[in-house]
Amino acid sequence: MKESLYTASSLAIVRGAARFEGRVAIVDRHGAHPFGDLLGASSRMANALLGERPDLLEEPVAFMVQPGVDYVSVLWGIWRAGGIAVPLCPEHPAPELEHVIRDSGARTVVFDALFGETLGPAAEATGARLLPTKQAKRGSAAGRRRLPDVEPFRRALILYTSGTTGRPKGVVSTHGILTAQIETLVEAWGWTSEDRILHALPLHHTHGIVNALLCALWSGATCEMLPRFDPAVVWERLSSGEVTLFMAVPTIYVKLVAEWENATATERAALSRGSADLRLMVSGSAPLTTHVFERWLDITGHELLERYGMTEIGMAISNPLDGERRPGYVGVPLSGVRVRLVDEGGQRITGEEKPGRIQVRGPGLFLEYWKRLEDTRAAYQDAWFDTGDEAVVENGYYRILGRTSVDIIKTGGYKVSALEIENVLRGHRAISDCAVVGVPDLEWGERVCVAVVPASAEAEQGALLEELKAWAKDRLASYKVPRDLILVEELPRNAMGKLTKPEVQQMFVSKGPGDAGG
């Protein structure tokens, strides 16, 4: 494609798209969209965002756009205008959205009309300007101007992730950091322009944005974007013979196994046959059990490739594309990523079979926590980022043992902070005190549970759980809402008065799933 104002870009991923102009970049509910259309749409979007300005100069721009071609046009439009993209999750309630908009400082939110009601309260509370995607797509009166040069060191993306304290923090990546993360995966997992990935992941986290969407766009491959995860639709597309790649969290594989098991024998055979031809299926974001690995192998003939990563570091450790994929292990450090284990005192562990905390270095590490210099500093030991995950190396492969903090919970592949949930729940009039824990769960990995010291002796366990669920849904993302509750007279504490969360976890384990679920 001849370079025009639409295609000219200092951004490697956008410039690269010109090479694939006629190929299909995105398939969504509206049809197939070639790379050439993305270039035009993102250029108009950039012009609309810029108005009379020459460059957004790293202004954060939030956006809530459905999975599909518009999502990419807005993302690239923000980048091409020199802004920082801040994706919002359409399923989040107003307080979560307000936190992200306020904390990022986004003054503009680009949004699909159908999200008007969802966004209204947060936009009003923060004073952010709402810019409908439809309007932005038309571009601006200033028309087709030359877009600014956006160098690799400039900030590109803020993703919100939970830590041990407070509300979610913004993890900032530059264009160069994203490029490093993408290039590592494209090489490791053998992406080519012949690939077609089925995309059913949320678009406000690294897994869905970088690993699935951006790697596809970088490679000139096709990304088929579903509006949301639906096991029947995913099976239908996986067995269509058109898809070469799939990436998901373990909970999704559990749900797909259940869907397959509920099908008739004839349907099962067709699903298994159809999905056998994919080139690669990847699992990550949470531990994949050997049981699910084996079941998936039985059903599809695929050995899932499990890998390990984190919003702050991108992907760090992976089983190989070619070679042994060992169930229960995440493999070896990816090319260009340095990984070490340290003991409690921060001393490097040498040799195998001694567990330690994972620390990582490399060009894919995040730049900073947005406007949190102290948190950024504290996350590092020397130049090594401390993940807070523990692992051991056995026969050359890393095995993840768990996290150092009981206050971080992984549920459905989402990372949530027990302390953040407790802070919100303490605002409920029926709660005097509470302790939130993650309890092992076959479907969700962990489920969020809460031990409550009630404000009144009259409180009834089942009724309070239901009331709390409904109340919390308006304040917290649905995956943070407790699924089970136990009433206690007091929370278990050690001799120092410190809450002993393992004891709280044990209460739920002894109780069994009970009235959890849903």
Residues that bind ligand AMP (CB under 6 A): 161, 206, 284-287, 306, 308-311, 330, 387, 389, 400, 403, 410, 415
Q: Which does 364 bind (CB under 5 to 8 A by kind): ligand MCA, ligand AMP, none?
A: none
Q: Which does 208 bind (CB under 5 to 8 A by kind): ligand AMP, ligand MCA, none?
A: ligand MCA
Q: Which does 389 bind (CB under 5 to 8 A by kind): ligand AMP, ligand MCA, none?
A: ligand AMP
Residues 274-303 contacting ligand MCA, CB under 6 A: 284-285
Separation CA 107–CA 114 (nearest Å): 20
Q: Supply the DSSP symbol for 132.
A: E
CA atoms within 13 A on the CB side of 458: 1
Separation CA 16–CA 13 (nearest Å): 5
Q: Does 251 bind ligand MCA (CB under 6 A)?
A: yes
Separation CA 217–CA 35 (nearest Å): 8
Q: Does 199 bind ligand MCA (CB under 6 A)?
A: no
Other CB atoms closer than 10 Å to residue 198's CB: what's the count? 26
- Measured from the CB atom, the residue of 154 and 169 that comes closer to ligand AMP is 169
Q: Does 207 bind ligand MCA (CB under 6 A)?
A: yes
Task: Give the contacts of 353 (CB within 8 A, at least 6 positions apart).
Answer: 392, 393, 394
The end-to-end CA distance of the chain, in Å, is 51
- Measured from the CB atom, the residue of 287 and 333 that comes closer to ligand AMP is 287
- The minimum distance between CB 288 and ligand AMP, in angstroms, equals 6
Q: Does 311 bind ligand MCA (CB under 6 A)?
A: yes
Instruction: Select from 119, 127, 149 the least CA-distant residue to 55.
Output: 149
Exactly one of 205, 295, 361, 399 binds ligand MCA (CB under 6 A); that residue is 205
Residues 479-498 contacting ligand MCA, CB under 6 A: 479, 483
- Measured from the CB atom, the residue of 415 and 447 that comes closer to ligand AMP is 415
φ and ψ of 62, to 5 deg: -85, 155
Exactly one of 201, 281, 334, 468 binds ligand MCA (CB under 6 A); that residue is 201
Contact status, residue 287 vs residue 400, Cβ threshold 8 Å: yes
The piece of 1-9, 189-197, 459-467, 477-485 that touches ligand MCA (CB under 6 A) is 477-485
Q: Does 438 bind ligand MCA (CB under 6 A)?
A: no
Q: Which does 35 bind (CB under 5 to 8 A by kind): ligand MCA, ligand AMP, none?
A: none
Contact status, residue 515 vs residue 484, Cβ threshold 8 Å: yes
Single-letter amino acid, residue 433: D
Q: Does 414 bind ligand MCA (CB under 6 A)?
A: yes
Instruction: Select from 142, 162, 63 the least CA-distant residue to 420.
Output: 162
- Measured from the CB atom, the residue of 224 and 389 that comes closer to ligand AMP is 389
Sheet holding 445-454, edge to edge: 431-441, 445-454, 484-487
Contact status, residue 395 vs residue 352, Cβ threshold 8 Å: yes
- The minimum distance between CB 400 and ligand AMP, in angstroms, equals 4
CA atoms within 13 A on the CB side of 515: 12
Separation CA 55–CA 59 (nearest Å): 9
Exactly one of 148, 163, 170, 202 binds ligand MCA (CB under 6 A); that residue is 202
Kind plus residue range of the DSSP H or E element containing 290: helix 290-300
- Measured from the CB atom, the residue of 76 and 366 that comes closer to ligand MCA is 366
Q: Does 478 bind ligand MCA (CB under 6 A)?
A: yes
The piece of 132-140, 341-349, 388-396, 476-484 that touches ligand MCA (CB under 6 A) is 476-484
- Measured from the CB atom, the residue of 194 and 294 that comes closer to ligand AMP is 294
Separation CA 281–CA 256 (nearest Å): 13
- The minimum distance between CB 285 and ligand MCA, in angstroms, equals 3
Separation CA 459–CA 489 (nearest Å): 11
Number of chain residues interacting with ligand MCA (CB under 6 A): 26
Question: Which residues share a beta bridge with 61?
Answer: 85, 108
Residues that bind ligand MCA (CB under 6 A): 201-202, 205-208, 228-229, 249, 251-252, 284-285, 309-311, 411-414, 444, 447, 478-479, 483, 518
